Chains A and B, each alone.
Chain A
Amino acid sequence: MTLANHPPGAPDMTALKARALNLRRKMMRMAAGKGEGYIAQGLAIADCLAVLYFHEMRHDSAAPDWPDRDRFLLSTGHYSIALYAALAEAGYLDEDALASYGLNGSALPMSTFDETPGVEIVGGSLGHGLGQAVGMAMGLKLGGSPARVFCEFSDGELQEGSTWEAAMGGATFKCDNLVALVDCNGIQADGPVTVAIEPVADKMAAFGWDAVDVNGNDISALTEALAGARKPDGRPKAIVMRTTPGFGVPTIMARERAHFVRVANDEWDSLQVELEKENA
C-alpha cells in the first residue's frame, strides 16, 4: 500500500496550488463542448478537494476499499465534475475516462453513483450526505478505526431539515472524527440563496459543532482549518467555506450567479487560456 498523507506533514502550498490548478484544468476539459453546467461550483471547490486528497486525507488509490481509509462524501452529487477530477488526479480514475463525463451510458455520470471507484455515496438527493457521514463516523469509532470522515454539503442543503437532524446526531454521538465542509457559494437551483440560513457557523456551533468560517478558495486558510479539525475533543467539526463560483476563470466568475452556468461551445478555448493566465 502507498498511503497518501500519512501522517500529514506541513502543507506544501506550492504543490497544493499546482494540484488545484490541475483539478481545474481537468474540469474545464470535461465540461468543454457540453454547454454546461456545474463547472462554476466545481471550480469553486477545487481548492478544498486539492487540500483533502493531497494533504489531509489518509487514503490509497490502489486500495479504494481499504477499511481504514478516510472517507470523502460529496453530498452535492451534481458537483461530480469536481470529484471525478480529484479522483483522476489522485489515481482512482483513468485520466482518459474523464472525457466520457456526463455522456449517455458513461461510468462517470452527471450525478454521482457509488459504483464509481472512490465515490462513497449516491449523492444529489440533497440533504443525504451529512447523516450518512454521521453514521460512518459512528461506525468507524465503534470499530476502533482511526479513519475520519469528511463530508461536503452546500448552503442550499441547509434548507433541508435532514441536514439539521444530522447535525444533532453528529453532536449527540460525539463524532469528533467527522468534518463537515459547508460549501457556501451563495447559489442554488433557482438563483441566489434567498432563504435566511445565516449565520451558518453560529448555527453549527449552536448545534454542538466546533465551527470556523474561512475563505474556501484560500488554500492556506483551508489547511489551517483542517489542522484545527483534528482535535479528538468529542465534538464534530464544521468548516464553513465561502467559495466563489467559477473561481480561477474570471469570465465564469463574472457570469450571472446561476446554478447552471451557460457556456457557448466557442468559448471553451478562451476560458482555458484564462485559467492558465490567472494561475501563471
Chain B
Amino acid sequence: MLEQDGSIGNRTRGMGEIVEVEGKTTELAPFGITLAALARERPEIVGLTADMGRYSDILPFRDAHPDRFFNVGMAEQSLIMIAAGLSKVGKIAYCTTYSVFITRRAYDFVAIACAHSKANVKIFAGMPGLVNGYGATHQATEDLNMMRGIADLTIIDPCDATELKQVVRAVADIPGTVYVRNLRGKVPVELGPDYRFEVGKAKQLRAGSGKIGIVATGYMSARALDAAKAVEAKGHDVGVLHVSTIKPFDAAGVLDFARRHERLIVAENHKTTGGLASLVVETLYEAGIQMPLIKIGLDDGFFECGSQDYLERKYQVDQPRFERAILEDR
C-alpha cells in the first residue's frame, strides 16, 4: 500500500509524522498556533515541554515567544514541578508531553504540586488513547481513569480542531489545574462554526428520534456523528451527546439525554473501565435508571504497535464498530 509520496502506508507512523486525514477538512497545529496568539494578549502565559516540543505542536508558541518557552528535557516530574513553581509566582503554565508520561510518571506531582495548590497549570497531554503507534509504552489508554482520581483537577477531552482552539483559550480562565487530551498535527474540523465549548457542559451535537443515543468524548464524538450520518439511509435517526469535560462531569446533562432515549451507546478513546462509560453507568445507576447500554472502547490490556487505523480496526473502536452497535445492537 503506497502513499502519494511513494512511502509504504501500512506501517507504524514515525514520531511527529503528520498524517493526512482523508475526507476531512483539517487544521495544522491548532494547539500551538492558538496558544501563540493567546500569549500575545496574556503576558503571564509561559509554555513548557519535556523534550516533546516537536511532537506536541507547541513550536509555534516557542517561535513567537522564545523568552517564555522552556524545554526541561526528558524529565516529566521536573516539567510538572517547574510548571507548578511558575504558576505560584503568577504565571499560567501550559505544559506538554505525551499523556502516558504525565499520568504514569508524574502523577504525584500533578496531584500535590499542582491540583492540591489549585496551581494554574494547564497540561496538554499528547497522543491520548490509541493515537500513538508505539505500543503500550506510548498509549495513554487509562489516563482518564487515573486523572479522575485527583481532586480539584479539571479534565477535558476535545473532539476536534474547533473545540481544541476554544479549550486552549478557555483553560486560561479556568482556575486551577487542567488536564487536556491534546490533538496534534493535521487535526480534523468536525464541529460547526456555532459550536461553543463550555467547561462542565455536555453538548448535544445531533438530535435523534429518541431510540438510540450515543454518549461520546474526544474524537469519538466525531466518529459517532459520522456513524449517525451513515445509518440515516437505513432508517436510523441517532442522537449524539458530546461530553468533552470528563471532570467535573455533567451528570445532569447525561441523565437528561439518557431519559430521552431508549438505549445508549457510550464511546471513548480509552479503556471501558474508569473513563466515560464508567461515569455514565454510575450516573444512571445512582439515578435509578436501568437501560440497555453498549460500550465502545478498549478492553483491558496492553496494545501493540501500528498505525492508528490498523489499531482501531484491530481493537474494535473504528467506524464499523459504531455501525454494528447501532444496527445490530451488539
Binding site for B on A (CB under 8 A): 67, 71, 113-114, 120-122, 125, 127-128, 130-140, 142-143, 145, 161-162, 165-166, 168-169, 172-173
Contact = CB atoms under 8 A, between A and B. Distances in A.
Contact of B84 (A113, A135, A142, A165): A135
Given A122-B112, A139-B85, A139-B89, 19 more contacts: A114-B117, A121-B88, A122-B117, A131-B77, A131-B80, A131-B81, A131-B82, A132-B85, A133-B85, A134-B81, A134-B85, A136-B86, A136-B89, A140-B89, A162-B78, A162-B81, A162-B109, A165-B75, A168-B73
A128 B106 CA distance: 11
A142 B116 contact: no
Contacts, number: 101
A136 B88 contact: yes
Interface of B: 46, 67-68, 70, 72-73, 75, 77-78, 80-91, 93, 108-109, 112-113, 116-117
A142 B85 contact: no
Q: 9 tightest CB-CB pairs across the interface, nearest first?
A: A135-B85, A131-B81, A165-B78, A135-B82, A139-B89, A132-B85, A165-B75, A162-B77, A136-B85
A168 B82 CA distance: 12
Contacts of A125: 108, 112
Instruction: Tell me which of B73, B89, B90 has the highest count of chain A C-beta atoms within 10 A of its own C-beta.
Output: B89
Given A125-B112, A132-B113, A138 B78 contact: no
Given A128-B109, A128-B112, A139 B78 contact: no
A114 B113 CA distance: 10
Contact of B82 (A121, A122, A134): A134
A170 to B, nearest CB: 10
Contacts of A166: 78, 81-82
Contacts of B116: 113, 122
A135 B112 contact: no
Contacts of A114: 117
Contacts of B108: 125, 128
Interface class of chain B by DSSP? helix
Contacts of B73: 168-169, 172
Contact of B46 (A136, A139, A168): A139
A120 B89 CA distance: 10
Contacts of A135: 81-89, 93
Contacts of A128: 81, 108-109, 112-113
B192 to A, nearest CB: 39
Contacts of A143: 89-90
B190 to A, nearest CB: 36
A168 B83 contact: no
Given A131-B77, A135-B88, A139-B91, A169 B82 contact: yes
23 contacts: A125-B108, A127-B77, A131-B85, A132-B82, A132-B85, A132-B113, A134-B82, A135-B81, A135-B82, A135-B85, A135-B88, A136-B85, A136-B89, A137-B85, A138-B82, A139-B86, A139-B90, A161-B77, A166-B82, A168-B73, A168-B78, A169-B72, A169-B75
Contact of A131 (B78, B87, B91): B78
B295 to A, nearest CB: 35
A132 B70 CA distance: 14
B143 to A, nearest CB: 20
Instruction: Tell me which of A67, A142, A161 has the highest count of chain B C-beta atoms within 10 A of its own C-beta.
Output: A142
Contacts of A113: 116
Contact of B90 (A67, A130, A172): A67
B120 to A, nearest CB: 11
Nearest to B112: A125
B82 to A, nearest CB: 4
B175 to A, nearest CB: 15
Nearest to B43: A143
A165 B101 CA distance: 15
A135 B79 CA distance: 9
Instruction: Tell me which of B67, B82, B108 has the highest count of chain A C-beta atoms within 10 A of its own C-beta.
Output: B82
